[in-house]
Amino acid sequence: MKKYKINIIILVIVAFIVIFFTLKDDFNGAINYLKNMNYLWILVAIAFMLLNILFQSLSQYRFLKEVDHNYKFKSCFKLMCMAMFFNAITPFSSGGQPFEMYLLNKEGIKVSDSLNALIQHFITYQFGLIFTSTIAIILNSIFKILPDSLLLKKIVLIGYFINIIVMGIIIFISRAKKLNTKLFSKIFKFIFHFKFIKNKEEKEKKFLKYLEDFYNSTAIMKNNLKNTLLSFLFNLISLCFLYLIPVFVFYSFHSFKLNFLESFISSSFTFLIGSFVPIPGATGGLEYGFIDFFKIFIKDSAMLSAGMLLWRLITYYFSMVLGGVILITYRRKEK
């Protein structure tokens, strides 16, 4: 946890800056909306966030169950929550999977097995993300939900193509084992000319071992198509729950101007922007994207600001706190 302190400090500083600029124009109006909100709709929004985590857990559980038949879904749900905590405090959500492997190893699952399961879940999640993003782009082009002139729409396309490229690299690596092994061996030979690199052979062996685990993961997915398709479906459902949360946030302010289609498209675009923001939790990028997309439907700036803060609280800070509480509880039990 010590090495994550700097990330948490950066996160807190950026979050305060974002909140300041969000509320500075109409602080009293935004606070008034938050004071008078309907808590029933907030509970529905929180329920949708929990369902998002639940279906992500179901996706990951499909693969972990294959490597450990005694592994319980309850443990997988807790693992997902704790991973979300580490994803929330690291750039590009990079801290979750290493922690999951560490914890699964403590529970008796070999690192190679847990890595295979987590890679399979990651691949199906990426496919789910690209699929929902593609649907959002198609629907927007048909129904013209967001104006063509919107600057952020161009940034969305960058995020979309970054995810496509990531998926393309994954497919390329998985289908050309011999070519990639030769390619990476040449890359290592070039890099190892630099004298400051230590333990060169060990680093090369470790990387090639990860590459081998990746090939094994994709081979397992091909041989168990049913599991892969179910995981893909669970990730689709998970993302749909996440993208519909803004509807209930604005319902809580007694505003029914936002519909499910508008929320789905705008949320999908907002999270695409966040996919290449390097700050933990994509803080700053997600808030800016939310304000810019949803202002088309919510004209009241105070309501929009209050809605953004509430949406961020539910979709980000809620899961981070939940994961932190479960992490502390787990550690106490281990002691």
Q: Which among 318, 314, 320, 316 has a CA at the least distance from the CA of 248?
A: 314
pLDDT score recorded for residue 233: 97
What is the tens place of the pLDDT at every residue in 223-249? 788 899 999 999 999 999 999 999 999
Neighbours of 75 (CB within 10 A): 18
Q: Coil, strand or helix: which one is 109?
A: coil
* pLDDT interval class at 192 (50, 70, 90): low
**Torsion region of 93: left, alpha or beta (phi above 0 gives left; psi -120 to 50 gives alpha):** left
What is the tens place of the pLDDT at every residue in 55-88? 999 999 999 998 898 999 999 999 999 999 999 8
What is the tens place of the pLDDT at every residue in 164-187? 888 887 777 766 666 666 766 676
- The better pLDDT of the pair 190, 301 is held by 301
pLDDT score recorded for residue 266: 95
> What is the C-alpha separation between 166 and 199, in angstroms, rounded?
29
User: Minimum mean pLDDT among 59-73, 83-97, 208-222, 278-292: which range?
Assistant: 208-222
Chain position carrying tokens 């990730």? 235
| Residues in CB range of 77: below 8 A, 6 or more apart | 53, 54, 57
Residue 199 has pLDDT above 60, yes or no: yes
pLDDT score recorded for residue 335: 35
pTM above 0.95, yes or no: no
- The better pLDDT of the pair 7, 28 is held by 28
Q: Which two tokens stand for residue 248?
A: 């209930």
> What is the C-alpha separation between 208 and 257, in angstroms, rounded?
53
pLDDT score recorded for residue 162: 85
pLDDT score recorded for residue 9: 74
Q: What is the distance in angstroms between the CA of the first residue and the CA of the last residue of the chain?
A: 17
Residue 250 has pLDDT above 80, yes or no: yes
- Strands, DSSP E only, in 24-172? none
pLDDT score recorded for residue 333: 44
Residue 334 has pLDDT above 60, yes or no: no
* pLDDT interval class at 295 (50, 70, 90): very high
> CA 69, 72, 77, 81 torsion: positive or negative?
negative
Neighbours of 242 (CB within 10 A): 23
